[in-house]
Amino acid sequence: MTLRLYDTATRQVSDFVPLTPGQVGIYVCGATVQSSPHVGHLRPSVAFDVLRRWLTRSGYTVTLIRNITDIDDKILSKAAVAKVEWWAHAAAYEREFTAAYDALGVMPPTFEPRATAHVTDMVALMDRLIERGHAYTTGPGNVWFDVRSYPAYGDLTRQRLDDLAPEPQSAMDAADPGHAKRSPHDFALWKANRVNEPATASWPTPWGPGRPGWHLECSAMAGRYLGESFDIHGGGLDLRFPHHENEQAQSRAAGYGFAQRWMHTAWITQSGAKMSKSLGNGLAVDELLAVAPPAVVRYAIAAVHYRSMLEWTTDTLTEAGAVWDRLVGFVQRASEFIGDDGSDDGSSDGTSSAGDVGGVDGADGSSDVSRSDLPEAFVAAMNDDLNTPAALAVIHEHMRAGNTALAAAADKPAVSQALKAVRAMLDVFGLDPLSPQWSAGTAGASSASHEALNSLVTTALEDRAAARAAKDWAASDAIRDRLTAAGITIEDTPTGARWTLSSPAA
């Protein structure tokens, strides 16, 4: 089956054919580390993490670059208000973003370059653009891209230059009219020092000291790590214009092929409005993780197709939590029933089959599930532009079959087969409940805290079992009620009582 992906530039789903057979280069626009991450920031990260896992599962070697914008007008402004050095301000929020990615099981990128470490690459790109007649200077430190010098400007978003609004002017530029440009549509490649900006936010260039423009940064870093042409450029829908349009224009004007395919994730919305800090409706990641397990947040994001708007409501986490509990419950019950942790029994030889698209190790090291055959319907769904809702339907179908086999309490091979299939499919989503990321507990607790809780609950369950054996139903019910009040769900199974943490309400 051929992987087909949507291309924002052509507005069509087409066969994905990498530039180099067996290898895929992806550049994803990362965070501008000006403030704390909200759930809207995490949607592109989770979506492209699923894409990366699927490409890896399909046998490709993936190089994924996700940049950090650590110099920017807003970073400078907010650092000044906070009375801290701009680089310290950026570093603090970079750590918050890293913690959020890690909490949700987003794999680290192959490399995560910072803009401030690639000034020499930016200078080389500007020099090439000036030499080719696509950029100009307006005084020391100011370099602009001449939009009208590049006739294909607007191709990515299918807009005519004359219909476009002027490039937004920053508050800093508005306060310093000496930085004028030829055309209102031209955009900054390099910015001279503005009034009251710290001297540390400046680097020397042949055209004067200053700092990079946002668009230049990504073109330079993509070229450094992925070459003149690469397979996929990704990011959020809001980056299509002007950021990605400008990236493409300056890179191709320099003579490079740049991104061969563009992929964009739709917004997370509340009451139909894009989630953002500027609108005051951004849900901070730390607030979400205070009321829901990280796996539940990841599931809520991954369950919606990456090109569909995700409307975030008060029920989003409650519904995702209920589904996650059912998945975890099945995996735990099935693992207990077949007498092990659901790992590979050695029957697989690691070779590919119709439902095994790669036979390579899983992203989290769980080689057992990554070698397990994947149902053909799941493969077809994922190859259809990452149709995650259809893929999840296949997961639930196999979970139901597994639960039916469990209820029969006699068909161990059927339970084992369903368990391996469900875990293998969830592994593609980065949500295998028995992976190291999530196996410390259904609420994402640390291993130590889960072990302590397990010891306490097990003792209580032993007391309850003794009470039931003595037919002291009042004592048995009292123990169960105390555990329920503490957020512990008890389930009586043929092999004994088992417990899980109840999903908290959103």
Question: Cα(299)–Cα(100) distance, rounded to whole angstroms?
Answer: 15
CB atoms within 10 A of CB 482: 12
Helix (H) / strand (E) containing 496:
strand 496-501
> Per-residue pLDDT for the chain (506 aa), expressed as one digit of tens each?
799 999 999 999 999 999 999 999 999 999 999 999 999 899 999 999 999 999 999 999 999 999 999 999 999 999 999 999 999 999 999 999 999 999 999 999 999 999 999 999 999 999 999 999 999 999 899 999 999 999 999 999 998 887 777 766 555 455 555 567 888 899 999 999 888 899 999 999 999 999 999 999 999 999 999 999 999 999 999 999 999 999 999 999 999 999 999 999 998 988 666 655 554 555 789 888 888 999 999 999 999 999 999 999 889 999 999 999 999 999 999 999 987 544 444 333 333 333 444 333 334 434 477 767 899 999 999 999 999 999 999 999 999 999 999 988 778 999 999 999 999 999 999 999 999 999 854 434 444 445 556 666 777 788 888 888 888 888 888 888 888 876 678 888 766 787 776 544 33
Domain locations in the chain as residue ranges:
22-133+212-285, 315-428, 447-501
**Predicted TM-score (pTM) of this structure:** 0.82
Give me the pLDDT at residue 421, please: 96
Give me the pLDDT at residue 491, please: 80
Neighbour-count burial for 352-364, b at 16+ CB within 10 Å, e otherwise: eeeebbbbbbbbb
Look at residues 188, 57, 172 and name the one whose alpha carbon lies nearest to residue 126: 188
Give me the pLDDT at residue 392, please: 98
CA-based angle 144:147:150, to the nearest 5?
125
Please identify which residue in the block is written with the tokens 């123990």: 479
State yes or no: cis peptide before 37, omega within 30 of 0: no
Q: Say which residues have a Cβ less than 8 Å from residue 56's Cβ, sequence separation at least 6.
A: 62, 358, 360, 363
Question: Cα(335)–Cα(369) distance, rounded to whole angstroms?
Answer: 13
Strands, E assignment, 95-169: 135-137, 143-145
Give me the pLDDT at residue 47, please: 98
Look at residues 53, 104, 64 and name the one whose alpha carbon lies nearest to residue 374: 53
Which amino acid belongs to residue 61? T
Look at residues 24, 31, 60, 65 and name the one whose alpha carbon lies nearest to residue 224: 65
CATH number of 22-133+212-285: 3.40.50.620
